[in-house]
A = this chain, B = another copy of it.
Amino acid sequence: MNVFSSDKLEQFLPKVKTILEENLFPLEQAYLHQSFSAVEPELNKVRGLIKEQDLWNPHLSEHHGGLGFNLVEFGQISELLGRSPYGHYCFNCNAPDIGNQELLLGYASEHIKSLFLEPLLKGDIRSCFAMTEPEFAGSNPVNMGTTAVKRGDHYIINGRKWFTTSADGASFAIVMANTNPGAENKYQRASMLVVPTTTKGFHLKRNISIMGEPNDTYFSHAELEFKDCKVPAKNLIGNEGDGFLLAQQRLGPGRIHHCMRWIGICERSFDLMCSRAATRDLGNGTMLGSKQTIQNWIAECRAEIDASRYMVLHTAQKIDEVGTKAARLEISTIKFYVANVLMKVLDRAIQVHGALGITDDTILSFYYRHERGARIYDGPDEVHKSTLARQILKNYGLNTNR
Question: CB-CB contacts of A380-402 with B at 8 A, as 1s and 0s?
Answer: 11101110111011011110100
CB distance from A20 to the nearest CB of B (A): 19
Q: How far is the CA of A195 from the CA of B318 in the complex (A)?
A: 52
**A-side interface residues, number (CB < 8 Å):** 96
In the complex, the answer to whether A299 meets B400 with C-beta atoms within 8 Å is: no
CB distance from A367 to the nearest CB of B (A): 11
CB distance from A293 to the nearest CB of B (A): 5
On whether A385 and B299 interact (CB within 8 A), knowing A354-B380, A375-B351, A393-B278, the answer reads yes
Does residue A44 face the partner (Cβ distance < 8 Å to B)? no
CB distance from A378 to the nearest CB of B (A): 11
Closest-by-CB residue of B relative to A215 is B212
In the complex, the answer to whether B212 meets A211 with C-beta atoms within 8 Å is: yes
Does residue A377 face the partner (Cβ distance < 8 Å to B)? yes
| Prevailing SS type, chain A contact patch | helix
Interface positions, chain A 356-384, Cβ under 8 Å from B, are 356-361, 365-366, 368-369, 372-373, 375-377, 380-382, 384
Closest-by-CB residue of B relative to A211 is B365
Could you say which residues of chain B place their CB within 8 Å of the CB of A212?
32, 211-213, 360, 365-366, 369
Does residue A12 face the partner (Cβ distance < 8 Å to B)? no
Could you say which residues of chain B place their CB within 8 Å of the CB of A279?
396-398
On whether A211 and B278 interact (CB within 8 A), knowing A299-B384, A382-B292, the answer reads no
A–B complex contacts, Cβ < 8 Å, 17 sampled: A138-B354, A210-B365, A211-B358, A212-B360, A274-B396, A277-B396, A278-B397, A289-B398, A295-B386, A295-B389, A295-B393, A296-B382, A299-B392, A306-B311, A310-B311, A310-B314, A358-B372
